[in-house]
Amino acid sequence: MKRITVFILLLIVSLPSFTQNAYIPPEKPALVIGIVIEQFRYDYLDKYWNMFSGGGFKKLIGEGTFYRNASYDFFLSQSAPAHATLATGTVPRHHGVVADNWYLPLREEIIYCTSDNSVNPVGGSFERGLHSPVNLLASTFGDELKLATGGRAKVYGLGIRENGAILASGHSADAAYWYDNVTGTWMTSTYYLDSLPAWLNDFNAMNLADTYLDGKWTTLHDIKKYEICLPDTNKYEMGIDGRTVFPYDMRKMSTSSLLGILNKKRDYSFLEKVPASDTYTADMAIRLIEEEGLGEDEITDFLSVTFSATDNIGHNFGPSSVEMADAIMRLDRDIEHFLDYLNDKLGKKNILIYLTSAHGLAEIPAVLSDKKIPSGYFRHNQAITLLKSYLNVIYGQGNWLKGYYEKQVYLNRTLIEDSGLELSDFQVTVSRFLTQFTGVANAVPGTVLSDNEFTRGHYAKMRDSFDPLRSGDVIINLRPAWVENDLRVTNHNSAYEYDSHVPLIWYGWTVNRASVTRKVSMNDLAATLSALCRVPFPNACTGEPLTELFR
């Protein structure tokens, strides 16, 4: 009996120290960090699992909640619509960013998703600085966080490409920073700031882009360890400037001779094509957190970081290439470095991280064809030429088409109206003609999408990508494994599994270790962030909080 009493007394005495060392997260996270990877297929995590280090993807999944069946609910799986959806919690039909680019028939020009001629560049070249969130029509999580905290929350967006940095951070961000591929430095626009902060001028003065481009891109591991990939030498890849095998001499390839050997100018856009751009992004994210003091007070801050190297590599080499595998291995190391910094600086219990992808990527059609799997390239230029001739036969000579862009046909509505024709009937005529082409699953008139509600399938996703002022008159849906024939070996931009299914991982703060296999929508991300941080949902949000994160 005495032994039991002594044991209980010792236990009571030890409780204070045990409680003091326990993992007790604060009421709200000090810093929310969104990590979005461009063109990162869901299956990459399983495919390259044995090649990952222990502190990157494996750490996030091993200590976090992994949603294995997360997908986007819209049709045109591109970067800008994805960033806007993640930020607003809704689909393009509501937030307005229907694609990376869209065509405006009245102005007869292609509009880039973040283009804004009313602003000026800050810290970089002129053309690269004319950007803002002006085309985003809904509020974001970052906006609501700003409003709920009376402007005290710090909100930043960061990425090699401006669309990720801008759309992810929203309208009210303190700043969005992106890479200037003319100067090799980081910049913004007057929408956010009149001048760069002193710390960023100092960071730019380090000329890190030159440091990265002075090296060689070689495989991180012995080439024999990439046996799960296509051979490094193969017939399918386009490569970088025609080169398709390791090593890549970045110093030589990024330097173009203008007036001979003694006068050479560096092409800083080359950095966007190689994994070093992800390392540069991670370095910039760490510097921003340090200098802006993110996560250092009781007000929750937000930082979105977009890694983009895999996008260009996928288009140039395909998803099964050694180059793609090596880029993912190197990104794993960059994420490990970033996590180590965050855990040392702020502590795991004070940070909330989500990691996901903007979209996937189709396998190179020629690779599938050689395996006897149905696939191919849709020759849209040929289809549009024949369509013009057909319309001239049916309706008489006229400029019936305004343009074609990203699976969308834009009609000359003024001519159609002046000719006394019904727009809906004209759209049906175009749709029926295009459906006859090899590789086309269906072509849907815009009036069908705007006048009807669809609850499931590709028609529902096409409806959720459709905005009557920004979308085409006829939307083309290709068959599985078919992509548009352009200057890239493969592409995304469909509602199929390989494009829309992405990983979604949560880590830190109150997140438990779990694996969730139920189907969830990427619309749910912003709603979940808002609920966890106890701020209002974005104003057009249609998603629901992910219940597993509230247990």
Pairing of strands 408-411, 474-478: antiparallel
Same domain, 167 and 277: yes
Pairing of strands 376-378, 185-189: unpaired
Residue 2 lies in a domain: no
Same domain, 162 and 293: yes
Residue 130 lies in a domain: yes
Residue-level pLDDT at 304: 98
From the CB of residue 396, how many other CB atoms can be counted at a distance below 10 Å?
9
The model's pTM is 0.94
Residue-level pLDDT at 366: 97
Same domain, 236 and 336: yes
State how far the alpha carbon of 467 is from the alpha carbons of 92, 410, 453, in Å: 7, 13, 13
Phi, psi of 386, rounded to the nearest 5 degrees: -70, -35
| pLDDT tens track, the chain, 551 positions | 444 444 444 444 444 444 445 678 899 999 999 999 999 999 999 999 999 999 999 999 999 999 999 999 999 999 999 999 999 999 999 999 999 999 887 788 899 999 999 999 999 999 899 999 999 999 999 999 999 999 999 999 999 999 999 999 999 999 999 999 999 999 999 999 999 999 999 999 999 999 999 999 999 999 999 999 999 999 999 999 999 999 999 999 999 755 545 447 899 999 999 999 999 999 999 999 999 999 999 999 999 999 999 999 999 999 999 999 999 999 999 999 999 999 999 999 999 999 999 999 999 999 999 999 999 999 999 999 999 999 999 999 999 999 898 899 999 999 999 999 999 999 999 999 999 999 999 999 999 999 998 988 899 999 999 999 999 999 999 999 999 988 899 999 999 999 999 999 999 999 999 999 999 999 999 999 999 999 999 999 999 999 999 97
Instruction: Among 451, 479, 507, give the residue marking a domain's end.
Output: 479
Task: Show the domain range for 194.
Answer: 31-367+495-550
Residues 6+ apart with CB under 8 A from 507: 59, 60, 63, 64, 65, 348, 352, 353, 354, 355
Same domain, 283 and 411: no
Residue 490 lies in a domain: no
Q: Are the C-beta atoms of 142 and 170 separated by less than 8 Å?
A: yes
From the CB of residue 246, how many other CB atoms can be counted at a distance below 10 Å?
16
Nearest to 157 by CA among 110, 185, 192: 192
Half-sphere exposure for 39 (CA within 13 Å, toward CB): 24
Nearest to 168 by CA among 155, 187, 149: 155
Give dist(CA 227, CA 215) in Å, integer. 25
Same domain, 270 and 404: no
Residue 338 lies in a domain: yes
Give dist(CA 21, CA 220) in Å, integer. 39
Q: Are the C-beta atoms of 218 and 247 separated by less than 8 Å?
A: yes
Our count of domains for the chain comes to 2
* Alpha-helix runs per DSSP H in 24-161: 44-47, 57-63, 79-88, 92-95, 141-148
The residue type of 257 is: S
State how far the alpha carbon of 324 is from the alpha carbons of 235, 237, 287, 329, in Å: 16, 11, 27, 9
Instruction: Among 416, 450, 479, give the residue marking a domain's end.
Output: 479
Same domain, 195 and 325: yes
Same domain, 517 and 380: no
Same domain, 104 and 184: yes
Residue 4 lies in a domain: no
Give dist(CA 354, CA 438) in Å, integer. 40
In 423-500, the DSSP E strands lie at 440-445, 474-478, 482-484
Q: Residue 352 sits in a domain of what CATH number?
A: 3.40.720.10
Question: Any idea which residue has 């890239």 for tokens?
Answer: 488
> Which residues are registered as beta bridge partners of 303?
33, 156
Same domain, 413 and 509: no
Judged by DSSP in three states, 18 sits in helix
Same domain, 428 and 347: no
> Which residues are registered as beta bridge partners of 249?
216
| DSSP letter assigned to residue 20 | H
Q: What is the 3-state secondary structure (H, E, C) of 267-333?
A: CHHHHHHCCHHHHHHHHHHHHHHHHHCCCCCCCCEEEEEEECHHHHHHHHHCCCCHHHHHHHHHHHH
Instruction: Among 432, 451, 479, give the residue marking a domain's end.
Output: 479
State how far the alpha carbon of 124 is from the alpha carbons of 120, 129, 205, 372, 438, in Å: 10, 7, 13, 49, 45
Same domain, 266 and 363: yes
Classify residue 372 as left (phi > 0), alpha (psi -120 to 50) or beta: left
Give dist(CA 353, CA 71) in Å, integer. 19
Same domain, 383 and 458: yes
Residue 488 lies in a domain: no
Residue 180 lies in a domain: yes
Residue 358 lies in a domain: yes
Q: Residue 465 sits in a domain of what CATH number?
A: 3.30.1360.150
